[in-house]
Structure 1
Amino acid sequence: MTRMHAAAIASRGRLVRLSGLPGLPGLLSGLSRLPLLAGALAALAAVSAAHATPLPREKPAAAAPLQLAAAPSGLPASAVRPGAVAKDLFGAVRAPAPLAARAIGSYAKGCLAGATALAVDGPTWQVMRLSRNRNWGHPHLVAMLQRLAGDAPALGWSGLLVGDLAQPRGGPMTSGHSSHQIGLDADIWLTPMPGRTLSREERETMTAISMLKGPSELPGADRGVDPAKWTDSHARLIRRAAQDPQVSRIFVHPGIKQALCRFETGERGWLRKVRPWWGHHYHFHVRIACPAGSIGCKDQDAPPPGDGCGAELVSWLSDEPWVPKKPKKTDKPAAPVQKKHMTLSALPEACTEVLVAR
């Protein structure tokens, strides 16, 4: 095909849209087949432009949203804006920050550099809910879990089923927890590890077993553990976790705390670390203290003195914390509360460096 012939065809393509010159499309169809008339065709196009019906302008395409969910490593700086929702940013990154290990901020407002993954399978543990990619923690947390798992068989416990630790770079999670942000928290199921390796599908669908007799939200409910489910091996495992010097707190349902108070007949100092909290009836939540070298890591205050088995526990087991209050009669219905998501600007400044590190 000659250059002139190509130009003729291109001009014809433009002219087929035009209106206002009767019979022009048919004429141009014939002319475009004659290479020698390409110049004349171009001239006709110029004349006809004045009679053309203008085409509507297309709206500029909206910028495609940043597909963060597939980001394999550090995020591009353009995505890391102070007003961005923090859980979206941290939930998008699939790999840890290649920085020195450091827990940054507080347990419910921070991030994690240099995370280590707890292997999904170990001699005496298996990680659950692998699709969440939350088996990351500070190296001190991972080492503590490995110690506890190694001790489990001697305690009458076949092994650990490990739930959420943290995301690869910590930070607010896309669902579930408000804490677990700095790589120092881990959930351990109160269901013992079976004597075989669970399939990936089983790890996604298997249900943890509640240790309670029934729902806690009913008036006058017995909020204690079910003796058909709760055993001394449960108590021994939690006690061993609390006795680890790096562990600062363990959260359990008040009914489990009550069972632990009844279980211990000797040295009771470890019970101080075991704190009653809502939920936590199918797993217990282990939290370690800020490791040395984690500049900017904020520990919680130490638990109150004593074993926590007195008036505080009695209050937790009463109806007051659990039974929903009857709504008061008001002239106007309460406006729905809009949940505010934590933005990146609410986290320590170092968390931006963690997000973009490659």
Structure 2
Amino acid sequence: MLKSALIALSVSSIVALPALAQTEARQLFGSIPVPSQQPAEPIGSYTLGCMAGAVELPETGPSWQAMRLSRGRNFGQPELISFIERLGAAAQQAGWAGIYVGDISQPRGGPMLTGHRSHQIGLDADIWMLPPDRLNLTRAERENISSISIRSEDQRDINSNWTEAHFEVMRAAASDPAVARIFVTAAVKQHMCEVATGDRSWLRTIRPWWGHHYHFHVRLACPAGATNCQDQAPPPPGDGCDETLAWWTSDEALNPPPPDPNAPPAPPRQEYVMADLPQQCTGVLYSQ
């Protein structure tokens, strides 16, 4: 009864169709607290799309806890929920109590009111670097606890928070056949390149990216048969332990010259309107 009332209230607040096309998508998708009652489907791309029939990650499971529950971002495709279950079990094998799961997606995906530009189709998840020692945190604790950084202050190396278990958890994630990419601070990729032995093919999946030292960002490939889902181009061949990786911790990357004071100001960040999203996303918004 409560779920039906929430759906009715949310859908009734959506603007009329003629005005919908030019309405900011983040305002619409950020206002709906429940998934659509449709078959599960990722629609569009990781940075411009939505999702039908999302599954809610349970707040607590045998090997995970969902964090920052007030954000309402613990919804994803069934394949992602299954992956989290597998990764949590792998983390326990590595010696952790499980994993703390940060943002996945909103109930119907789409652009978020704050934060991420991706996480729009239910195939992205942030996994905290904080090793859980228990999986019975209260809702209040999950709002106030913070993750830890595993990167040195100069951004060129890992710090003392990094453990062998971090390595094993990330290797398990990168070795999962459902995973397309893992984004993490370059210092971690660099360290893993230095110490990995044997089969190193999984390293190709781990890609350096700005930030990502308090969590690592897992991105799944579009599921088989998801014809409206747009995969990202695959990573370049090889393990990525080359000069392109070295650039990320170079002076050029970490200490860029100050901006030209005479340069014209950068344009404001574009906020997508509904007309920018795949047409099917309008149906996701209006679906019960």
Q: TM-score, normalised by structure 2?
A: 0.93
Q: Does residue 193 of structure 1 match 2:132?
A: yes
Which runs of structure 2 are paired with 1:34-49 in the superposition (5 Å)? Answer: none
Q: Which amino acid aligns with 2:141?
A: E
Q: Please, which of 268, 274, 283 is the counterpart of residue 338 of structure 1? A: 268
Instruction: Measure the CA separation in 2 of the matches of 1:303 and 1:193.
Output: 31
Q: 1:89 aligns with which of 18, 28, 47?
A: 28
Aligned residues: 281
How big is the shift at 1:343? Answer: 0.5
Does the C-alpha gap of structure 1 residues 261 and 329 become closer, same or farther in structure 2, counting only changes over 3 Å? same
- Is the contact made by 1:74 and 1:97 (CA closer than 8 Å) also made in structure 2? no
Q: Percent identity?
A: 48
Query: 2:225 — aligned with what?
Result: 293
* Off by >6 Å, runs of 4+ in structure 1: none
What is the RMSD of the two structures over their aligned residues, measured on CA atoms?
1.8
1:104-138 deviation per Cα after TM superposition (whole angstroms, max 9, x unaligned)? 00000000001001101011111100000000000
Residues 1-358 of structure 1: pairs in structure 2 closer than 5 A: 73-75=10-12, 78-79=15-16, 81-216=20-155, 223-226=156-159, 228-330=160-262, 334-335=264-265, 337-358=267-288
Unaligned runs of 5+ in 1: 1-68, 217-222
State the AA in 2 paired with 1:245. P
Higher relative contact order (CA 8 A, sep 6+): 2
Letter in 1 for 2:232: Q
* Residues 75, 355 of structure 1: 8 Å contact kept: no
Contact 2:96 2:133 in 1 (8 A): no
Structure 1 residue 78: Cα displacement? 3.3
CA contact (8 A) 1:232 1:263 kept: no
Cα 1:200–1:307 shift into 2, 3 Å: same
Q: Aligned partners of 1:305 and 1:277: how far apart in 2?
A: 18
Q: Which residue identity is paired with 1:74?
A: V
> Aligned partners of 2:31 and 2:147: how far apart in 1?
27
CA pair 196-109 structure 1, distance change in 2 beyond 3 A: closer
List alignment gaps of at least 5 residues for structure 2.
1-5
Query: Is this contact kept in 2: 1:126–1:193, CA < 8 A?
Result: no
**8 A contact 2:60–2:135 mirrored in 1:** no
Residue by residue over 1:165-219, the C-alpha shift from the partner in whole angstroms, topping out at 9 and shown as x without a partner, is 0000000011110000000000000111122511211111111100011153xxx
Counterparts of 2:135 and 2:178 in 1: how far apart (Å)?
30
The 8 Å contact of residues 126 and 160 in structure 1, kept in 2 or not, is answered as yes
Q: Retained in 2: the 8 A contact 1:155–1:237?
A: yes
State the AA in 2 paired with 1:152: A
* Partner secondary structure for residue 107 of structure 2: coil
Per the alignment, do residues 335 and 262 of structure 1 end up closer, same or farther by CA in structure 2, a change over 3 Å counting?
Answer: closer
Shift in Å at residue 310 of structure 1?
1.1
1:153: Cα distance to partner? 1.2
**2:231 alignment partner AA:** D
Distance apart, 1:340 and its partner CA = 2.4
- Following superposition, the deviation at residue 70 of structure 1 comes to 9.5
- Greater mean deviation of Cα atoms: 313-322 or 74-83: 74-83
Displacement of 1:263 after TM fit?
2.4
Change (3 A) 1:192 1:329: closer
